[in-house]
Structure 1
Amino acid sequence: MADGQIVTTHQMIHDDGGLDLFLKRFWEQGDMVVGFDTDWSFGEYEAQVSLLKLCSKGHCLLIKLDGIRYSYFRPLKELFANKEIAFVGVHIKKDLEKLESAYGFEIRNAVDLGEMAANKYKRPYLRACGVNDLASAVFNSQYNYGIPKPMRAAKVDYRAAETLTEEKKVEYATAVTYAIYKTANLLLK
């Protein structure tokens, strides 16, 4: 990442131990903040959360959700139920509603990054900002923390961009979720 932090990303499509590894590393580092983001897919009748993104200090976990309830859902539910862990995301209310209705996931300590920044800096407009603008405002710089420049400039929706490789999509998902995590940590200091 731009701050020199090496972030490893694990893509979890089925129960391959990725969640266990993420949790092990998370508990070892003792950090109680998780960057949280989702991607949605738009089906025939309604939008559903299709990708769950979690990021802590040096680890990012991308979990594909396809409507099937896997064995790792129970540990994920337990993680989300832990009130000691702050799951921080940008405009997360709808994400939380969809996750609860589709998968039964209830996050007990969810924090909206925009709300947090607006309250800390007494700038209400920050509630409406996306990740790029929040990171810029919080870090008081034009450089967006770890988010690749081509993505910022073009405002590309990476899911729809046919020219991006899977590797670039993973890189972008990691960078965005890490930016949420890093910005939240700065706000909490």
Structure 2
Amino acid sequence: MTKIEIGDGNIMEMSRISSEDELESCLGLLWDCLIAEGSQKMVGFDLQWRPKGDVKGFLTPELLHLLLCTDVTCFVVHSRFLSNANLKKFLAQKEITFVGIHIAKDLAKLEHDYGIVFRNVVDISKHAANVLRRPRLRAGSVSELAYEVINLKLNEKPIGAVYDPFFPFGSGKTMEYAAIDAYASFKIGKKLHGRPIQRVQLFILTTVIFIWFMLLVLLCFSLASF
């Protein structure tokens, strides 16, 4: 277990899963944390990749770790455990909202390569852009979103921090970066939970009703003039 100090003063515990039994235990701990939260069950997630050479000599991204994060803990699941049936069931829970940033391609790869399907997942980069009405946030980095939404300043990753080809299971430092990203996704998701979509929908509904009302008024005047 590694303790990571976050920029907001929080200290998160990062645990690396090393066996199926450990994975089952961690899933139980995650459930206990989520039950304690009540109806607002949310988990931040991130994926850690490394380059892999194909038969033609080209480098392609290979999934190394799936990270699942709450307010105080982050579990690092190696890709060799992603076929675990209980893990798949956990990730497919409707009552849990999984939040991440720029995740469309990641979700497609998880489904294609591992048969993992999320039934309740939110890309908070798009979510934040809608709430704050700042379209540029759709392309924003984790650091930008964290600063804009929750006023959390994350340390910039050094060049090459995304990939770590010299360590078969990833170095501690690169996992820390990924864990902080998953934590930031969780905190941003909590901040935005339930507010943006409802407000945007209400605004659209109010606008539509107003337009229909004005059209009806104009129609009545037109009919009265004949």
Instruction: Tell me the TM-score normalized by structure 2.
Output: 0.69
Identity value in percent:
32
Judge conservation of contact 2:16–2:75 (CA < 8 Å) in 1. yes
Q: Secondary structure at the match of 1:36?
A: strand
The answer as to 2:43 corresponding to 1:43 is: no
One-letter identity of the residue aligned with 1:42: P
1:169–1:41: structure 2 CA closer, same or farther, 3 Å change rule?
closer
Please state how far the C-alpha of 1:48 moved relative to its aligned partner. 3.2
Q: 1:170 aligns with which of 165, 169, 175?
A: 175
Match of 1:63 in 2: 77
Please state how far the C-alpha of 1:167 moved relative to its aligned partner. 3.1
Q: 2:118 aligns with which of 73, 97, 107?
A: 107
- Give me the whole-angstrom Cα distance separating, in 1, the residues matched to 2:159 and 2:78: 23
Judge conservation of contact 1:11–1:18 (CA < 8 Å) in 2. no
Match of 1:24 in 2: 29
Please state how far the C-alpha of 1:7 moved relative to its aligned partner. 1.5
Q: Which has the larger radius of gyration?
A: 2
Q: Secondary structure at the match of 1:17?
A: helix
One-letter identity of the residue aligned with 1:76: L
One-letter identity of the residue aligned with 2:174: K
1:101–1:183: structure 2 CA closer, same or farther, 3 Å change rule?
same
Judge conservation of contact 1:36–1:180 (CA < 8 Å) in 2. yes
Match of 2:86 in 1: 75
Judge conservation of contact 1:22–1:61 (CA < 8 Å) in 2. no
Judge conservation of contact 2:50–2:164 (CA < 8 Å) in 1. no
1:52–1:99: structure 2 CA closer, same or farther, 3 Å change rule?
same
Question: RMSD between aligned alpha carbons?
Answer: 2.4
1:158–1:69: structure 2 CA closer, same or farther, 3 Å change rule?
closer
Structure 1: runs of 5 or more not aligned: none
Q: 1:159 aligns with which of 160, 163, 184?
A: 163
- Give me the whole-angstrom Cα distance separating, in 2, the residues matched to 1:35 and 1:182: 8
Judge conservation of contact 2:43–2:68 (CA < 8 Å) in 1. yes
- Give me the whole-angstrom Cα distance separating, in 2, the residues matched to 1:47 and 1:166: 17
- Give me the whole-angstrom Cα distance separating, in 2, the residues matched to 1:5 and 1:22: 22
More helix by share: 2
Task: Give the count of matched residue pairs.
Answer: 177
- Give me the whole-angstrom Cα distance separating, in 2, the residues matched to 1:171 and 1:47: 19
One-letter identity of the residue aligned with 1:77: K
Judge conservation of contact 2:44–2:100 (CA < 8 Å) in 1. yes
- Give me the whole-angstrom Cα distance separating, in 2, the residues matched to 1:4 and 1:78: 33
Instruction: Tell me the TM-score normalized by structure 1.
Output: 0.81
